[in-house]
Chain A
C-alpha cells in the first residue's frame, strides 16, 4: 500500500511539474527559444504573489489570480525588450540572454527579499493541510488534487486555444514556418509576444502553486527549471499532453525513490530522465506542438 501511495503522490506532484514545464514547452515549440530563466520567472511570480498576500492579506489563490494579468504584461514586455532583439541575432543569443536574465532575477530577488526561505502554505489556511483519507496509508491532499486539475485545465485550455481559435492556429502556423506565415499577413512578432505572455503567465501560476505546496527562496529557480526540463524531455519536446505525462513520470520516479530512501528522491528522477534520453526516440510521446 505504501507503494500505491507513493505512486499517487507522484501523480499529484507531476501536476506541478507539468505546470512548470508547460511554459517552457510553449516557448520552445513556438519560437525555438530555450528559456533558461523559466524557473526564475516562476519564482519571481511566487515572490510577487507572496508580497500581494502579505500587503493585503488576500487569499493566496485570489492573489495568484490577480497577478496573472500582470504576468501577461511582463511576458509581453520581456519579448519586446529582450527576446525579440536576441532572436534576430541567431540561435545561440536567446539562450545566453535567458541565462543572463535568470541571474539578474535571482540577484534582484536576493536584494529585495533577502535569502530567507518563504512559503504561502500558512496563508492559505486549512486548505493546504486538508486531504481525503482513502485508507490508513493512502491519502490525497486537496492542494495536490487541485494542482493536478489545474495542470490538466491549463494544458487542455492551451490545446483548445492552439487548435480551435484563429490566434492559436496562427501561432501553430508561425511555429512551423514564420516566413511563410508572413506571406499571408501574419506578424510573427505579435505572435511571439503573445506566446511569451502566455508562457510567463503559466510560469507565475506554477510559481504560486509551488509556494503553496512548499518553501521557496530567491535561488529556487534553477532546480525548478531542471525539473521542468526533465518533464519536457521525458514527455517529448513540444508535445502538450506529453508534458503532463513527463511531469507525472518524473513525479512518480521521485516519490518512489523517496520511498526507498528519502535521499534517492531527486536522483531517481534524474535517472529516469537519463534513461529516456538514452532511448532511440527521445520522449515518451514524441511529437510536435503543432500536432496538439
Chain B
C-alpha cells in the first residue's frame, strides 16, 4: 500500500525551478533510488518531502495525511526522516548526544541508542566522542543513526556516499542494507548507478527538475538510465527542431 505520495510538486530556488511537477509514490517497505546529474533537482525534491524546503505547489501525503503545509519538525515527528547531504551532525555534541536529540520527539518504535550501535558497530567505541572528531564514514553512520532514532516510516537518504573513502562507503551501505532488510521504506539519492540499481527495487531518473525515466531496477539497463541521465535522446530531438 502507498505510504508516501508526492503529487505534481514544484520547488523553486528563487527564479530557478529546481523541481517541476514531480509525482512519485512509495509503497510500504519499498526502496526507490533517485539518480540524475548534479542540479537535476534530487536534493531539492528530498528537502521538499521533508519540509526543509517549502514546495511551491503540489501535494505531499504520508499514509493519506496531507503534510504539504506542515513545518519540517512536525513531519519528522510523523515519520519522515531526511539524512541531509553533507551529514550535518551537531558537531559539538557527542555521537550519543546526536542520537539522543533525535530521540526526544521520536515516534514509538524499536530504535534506541543501543539498536543503532548494533546496526552500526563502528559507532560503539565512539559513543562519547565529539561528532566533529569523527571520520567521514563514522559521521555518515551517525547521521543515519540519528535519523533512525526518530523511528521513521520513510527514510530519505541524500548522497550518503558523497566524499567518503570506498571502504567507508562499503561499511555505510552494509548498514543501510541491514536497515532495508528489516523492512524500512527508503528513498535514496545515489550517484553510483550500479550501487543504486543493486540496492533499490525501483529506479527513478531526474533531469532538469523532471522525472524522465522510471522503472523496476531489475528491468532497466545501464544504457537506458545513462541516456536518461544525460538527456541524450531529448537533446537530439531539440536539435532537430
A contact residues vs B (CB 8 Å cutoff)? 166, 169-170, 172-173, 176-177, 179-188, 288, 290-291
Contacts and interface: CB of A to CB of B under 8 A. Distances in A.
A182 to B, nearest CB: 4
Contact of B88 (A177, A186, A290): A177
Given A176-B90, A290-B92, A290-B93, A184 B101 contact: yes
Given A183-B50, A183-B76, 13 more contacts: A169-B100, A170-B101, A173-B97, A176-B90, A176-B91, A176-B92, A176-B93, A177-B90, A180-B89, A184-B147, A185-B102, A185-B104, A188-B73
B117 interface: no
A126 B105 CA distance: 50
B52 interface: yes
Nearest to B98: A173
Contacts of B72: 179, 182-183
Given A166-B104, A169-B97, A169-B100, A184 B92 contact: no
For the complex, would chain A's binding face be called helix, strand, loop or mixed by DSSP majority? helix
B77 interface: yes
Interface of B: 50-52, 71-73, 76-77, 81-82, 84, 88-93, 97-98, 100-102, 104-106, 146-147, 149-150
B90 A172 contact: yes
Contact of B52 (A170, A182, A185, A290): A182
B101 to A, nearest CB: 4
Contacts of A179: 52, 72, 88
A196 B89 CA distance: 25
A184 B51 CA distance: 12
Given A172-B92, A176-B90, A183 B84 contact: yes
B66 to A, nearest CB: 19
Contacts, number: 80
A85 B88 CA distance: 26
Contact of B101 (A186, A187, A188): A186
Contact of B73 (A176, A177, A182, A291): A182
Contacts of A185: 73, 76-77, 102, 104-106, 150
Nearest to B88: A180
Q: Which 4 A/B pairs are nearest by Cβ-Cβ distance?
A: A185-B105, A290-B92, A184-B102, A185-B76
Nearest to A292: B92
A158 to B, nearest CB: 16
A187 B73 contact: yes
Contact of B92 (A180, A183, A288): A288
A291 B82 contact: no
Contacts of B104: 166, 169-170, 185-186
Contacts of A172: 90, 92-93, 97
A184 B52 contact: no
15 contacts: A169-B97, A172-B90, A172-B97, A179-B52, A179-B72, A183-B73, A184-B76, A184-B105, A184-B147, A185-B73, A185-B77, A185-B106, A187-B73, A290-B92, A290-B93
A28 B93 CA distance: 18
A186 B88 CA distance: 15
A181 B76 CA distance: 10
A181 B91 CA distance: 12
A166 B113 CA distance: 14
Contact of A173 (B81, B82, B93, B150): B93
Nearest to A183: B82
Given A169-B97, A173-B101, A184 B91 contact: no
A14 to B, nearest CB: 27
A183 B81 contact: yes
